[in-house]
Structure 1
Amino acid sequence: MAAGSISEDEFWNSIISFLTLSSKIDRKWMIIDTQNGARYVKKTEIIKDTENKEHPIEDEDSAVFQGEESLDQSNLTWEYHILYSQSFSVPVLYFNVHTQNGKLLSLDEIWKKVPETYQERLSEDRWTFISQQEHPVLGCPYFYLHPCHTAELMKNTPAVTDKRHYIVAWLSAVGPVVGLNLPLEYGKLCAC
């Protein structure tokens, strides 16, 4: 197996470790088991859509707590899924974004949500880094971060030696591109 990649068993062991951390930190991630026996990991967040790309993240609980007025049309619902790629032997981040009235964002609209620092670095790979395809479990269109460079990215990270924390290291590296920022507590607990 190539450096930086993981087996499917290692992937699920890392997912279990990640979910254990999530249960202590924010309880936002869960495993979804489908009727056909497939599984994936899911998180949903409501994020205020503002012109400022460094906007704070608002989770579902705080949106409900603040009342109906916080669920206006300027909020976007981001749904993230983590799956295992058999072809690349790495995790893949699938996601969709929709407005409060259910309208899915286009790839151009998604790209506008990518923080400027990443837009500059990814400008040449813009359309191959974030793509859209049929979700391998759900069978409907989802955006995803293409996994072709994941093993290369991960081969130089400490998580490769301790694969229990592979998912934390990987999400910390790729998640911010699409608004997914892990709280620092994940890294602190992994270091223990």
Structure 2
Amino acid sequence: MDGPGTVTWEEFLENAERFLVVSDKISDGWELHGNKDIPGQAYLIRRAKCFIPSDAIARKDCSTDDDNDTQEFHVRFRQDPHEAVSTSEMPFIIEHHILWSISYSVPVLFFNGWKSDFLGINPVSVNEAQTIHGYKLNYTELSQAIHPIVGTPFLQLHPCLSQGLLRTMSKSRNKLVSWLSCIASAALNLKIHPEYFKLTH
């Protein structure tokens, strides 16, 4: 599918490779996995471990003292991996994947969160992911889906709204970054470093 609001596979790869150059420069942890020679079979991935209050998932009220982006669902990254873990905190592993949808010709975001020290243990459900963000969740097409490349369940921000977003970004020099900046807030503490925005000008 081509036309306004879409991204070709070649454009997705070119945007992703420029994105990776910035990621490497700022040590942001993104990597490209899969086969770039087959459309839709390569994707960006980043995994991070953080710590959250033990009751953060269960808490219905995720209000913050500051409406700015400073306290998104009370996550705190540790600089020192040997720092003692407070009994009021629990480990939380987050993994984000950015794929290209063959059906929609747009980027699509898959992600998972595990309330554990290990991948696959105590995954976050759709309802929990929405509770974490509470009323701040703007991109509401969140569901569980089978990851088309790795074949396991992930949370997915459905690509049906992405064409509308991309239509407003026709002048961007990196539509992947522009698109990601719009939807990141709905994806479990996905923060976009300001350095990436230089790619869009």
Correspondence for 2:143 among 131, 143, 149:
131
Partner of 2:190 in structure 1?
A: 180
Deviation at residue 181 of structure 1 after TM alignment:
1.1
The answer to whether the aligner puts 1:153 opposite 2:156 as a matched pair is no
Letter of the aligned partner of 1:148 in structure 2?
A: C
Cross-structure match for 1:3: 4
- How far the C-alpha of 1:56 sits from its partner, in A, is 4.6
Corresponding residue for residue 27 of structure 2: 26
Aligned pair partner of 1:78 in 67, 70, 94: 94
- Aligned counterpart in structure 1 of residue 116 of structure 2, from 75, 95, 100: 100
1:112 positional shift: 0.9
- Consecutive unaligned residues in structure 2, runs of 5 or more: 57-61, 63-70
The structural deviation recorded for 1:27 is 3.3
Q: 1:44 aligned to 47, 53, 58, which one?
A: 47
> What amino acid does structure 2 have at the position aligned with 1:166?
K
Q: Distance in 2 between matches of 1:99 and 1:110?
A: 12
> Aligned-pair distance for 1:12?
0.4
| Per-residue deviation, residues 93-131 of structure 1 (Å, max 9, x unmatched) | 00111012521111111111125322xx55xxx4xx001
Aligned to 1:90: 106
When residues 12 and 191 of structure 1 are mapped into structure 2, their CA distance, relative to the original with a 3 A threshold, is closer
TM-score by length of 1: 0.80
For the residue of structure 2 that corresponds to 1:148, the secondary structure is helix
Q: Letter of the aligned partner of 2:45 in structure 1? A: K
Cα 1:95–1:25 change in 2 (3 A) is: same
RMSD: 2.5
State the distance in 2 between where 1:115 and 1:182 align: 20
Q: Which runs of 4+ in 1 moved over 6 A?
A: none
Size of the aligned set, in residue pairs, is: 176
2:166–2:179 CA contact under 8 A, matched in 1: yes
Higher helix proportion (structure 1 or 2): 1
Provide the TM-score with structure 2 as the length reference: 0.77
Is the 2:172–2:178 contact (alpha carbons within 8 Å) kept by the matching residues of 1?
no
> Quick one: distance in 2 between partners of 1:30 and 1:70?
28
Q: 1:184: how far off?
A: 1.5
Distance 1:19 1:115, change over 3 A: farther
Give how far 1:162 is off. Answer: 3.9
Q: CA deviation at 1:68?
A: 5.6
Provide Cα deviations, 1:31-89, integer angstroms capped at 9, x if missing partner. Answer: 1126xx73221001223323456235527xx3xx2416349762211100011001110
